[in-house]
Structure 1
Amino acid sequence: MTMDFSLLMLILLLVTAVVWLLDRVFFRRRRPAHAQEPWPVEWSRSFFPVILVVFLIRSFVVEPFKIPSGSMIPTLLVGDFLLVNKFVYGLRLPVINTRLTQGSPLERGDVIVFRYPEDPSKDYIKRVVGLPGDTVAYANKQIIINGKPVSTELLGDFSYITEQGYILDTQKYREQLGRHRHDILVIPESGMQDMEPVTVPPGRYFVMGDNRDNSNDSRFWGFVPDDNIVGKAMLIWWSWDSLETRVRWQRLGEAIP
């Protein structure tokens, strides 16, 4: 398991703070007046403010996130870089993730980043489909919440190049989840099985990718605990198409529906 980046930042913050503080309190007065500052002290004094600002912003305001797979196509593309709102659902202490403030409740249709329940060292991004207490089913390529099919509208055929380099033909639908109106993809003839109704437990969420037949989500590994939630995906700040080696300028600054 790789070290959590927040933990690494915290360690660097503490080390630079301790080195700088010990020098100010004990060692500086013992050095000759014109002696050169030792390099560990110089580095700590220079980097501590930078690390502190980055740590506070990343822990309590926004965190960058890169889309690594196609599970959220067409909403998010491989190579999109996002800003994730860390405070909308309540402030949490970094590393231990203890909630400090209540914040706004998650809404059905929110796109969230969370620590993968089966391997918390990995961050996943999906759309919230089921809230605590909801009964969720999936049948005939359509989500059913509390016995009611979610509204969808066929937009037409949609093809894209996969990460493996082949063209995949799908159909694009527009879906309404709560107040969120967004596009999804389905493969009409795929072998994706229907899912029997499940009830979302308290403190848990049912999530799915917008690329419905190419998403590893709650249909396969279960619910996302509230403690695993990192934040809400806000907007795309950078987008790089590795297949065509170009910037997708039209996506920059795009809000996530």
Structure 2
Amino acid sequence: MKRNKFLSSFLDLAETLIISFFVVTLIFTYIFNSVTINGESMRNTLSPDDRVIVSLFSKVDNGDIVIINAQQAYLLDDENKLTENSGLYKNIVKRIIAHGGQTVDIDFIRGTVKIDGEILDENYLTLGLTHNDGGAFTGKYPVTVPEGYYFVMGDNRSVSRDSRFSDVGFVPQESIRGKVIMRFYPFENFGFFTAQ
């Protein structure tokens, strides 16, 4: 009798563990992803080897940090028509600066970004805004973001390849894999992210 009770308890535990494993697997496959940060482009907000949770279904807006599938880049040609260019062929992490219909103006001398004529309050920047060489839109500001696209920048502007460059350009909605909602490693930097 004790053996049957033990076996029954063991089977109940095994069933619970198996179901839990499948539920967690489904959640982290279809709702959330864990991503390890590579590169310096979001420093000091995110550092290399930070581990974050990305929500695959959250609505994104200006100020949100997002993971982008940068396979293609979309640029405006001389006639202000959207054209496709080769991308970085990898996933990147950036901050949304502007969305479709908004006008972005960058003052590379003062290091400021304006959205629809208003200077963007970027209290998350600690390293300043530089890097005007080689950008896709350098010298073509202000620029209006096409509908359905985003203008993104890294927080570490001096090393970030972002919407200022021809291999990133405007990011279409469908290229955004998800929104970074939480850093869980390193543990001393655990925290949630909200739009800035």
TM-score, reference length from structure 1? 0.54
What is residue 32 of structure 1 aligned with on the other side? none
Deviations along 1:53-79, whole A, 9 cap, x unmatched?
A: 455223332101111001001100111
Alignment of 1:128-139 (within 5 A): 128-139=96-107
What is residue 71 of structure 2 aligned with on the other side? 117
Find out whether 1:201 has 2:146 as its counterpart.
yes
Structure 2: 5+ residue stretches without partners: 1-17, 73-86
2: distance between equivalents of 1:120 and 1:219? 13
What is residue 219 of structure 1 aligned with on the other side? 164
How many residue pairs were aligned? 154
C-alpha change, 1:191 and 1:126, in structure 2 (3 Å) is closer
Amino acid at match of 1:73: R
C-alpha change, 1:49 and 1:115, in structure 2 (3 Å) is farther
What is residue 22 of structure 1 aligned with on the other side? none
Find out whether 1:192 has 2:116 as its counterpart.
no
SS in 2 for 1:217: coil
Alignment of 1:156-195 (within 5 A): 175=122, 182-186=124-128, 192-193=132-133
2: distance between equivalents of 1:142 and 1:49? 52
C-alpha change, 1:218 and 1:83, in structure 2 (3 Å) is same
Find out whether 1:250 has 2:195 as its counterpart.
no
SS in 2 for 1:76: coil
Find out whether 1:238 has 2:175 as its counterpart.
no
What is residue 5 of structure 1 aligned with on the other side? none
Give the CA RMSD over aligned residues.
2.4
What is residue 63 of structure 1 aligned with on the other side? 33
Deviations along 1:146-188, whole A, 9 cap, x unmatched?
A: 122223xxxxxxxxxxxxxxxxxxxxxxx1xxxxx5334226x
Alignment of 1:42-121 (within 5 A): 53=23, 56-89=26-59, 106-118=60-72, 119=87
SS in 1 for 2:174: helix
Larger radius of gyration: 1
C-alpha change, 1:141 and 1:84, in structure 2 (3 Å) is same
2: distance between equivalents of 1:125 and 1:141? 21
C-alpha change, 1:150 and 1:133, in structure 2 (3 Å) is same
Higher helix residue share: 1
2: distance between equivalents of 1:120 and 1:50? 37
CA contact (8 A) 2:96 2:150 kept: yes
Cα deviation for residue 231 of structure 1 reads 0.9
Amino acid at match of 2:165: F
Percent of paired sites with the same residue: 32
Amino acid at match of 2:158: D
CA contact (8 A) 1:75 1:256 kept: no
Structure with the bigger RCO (C-alpha within 8 Å, sep 6+) is 2
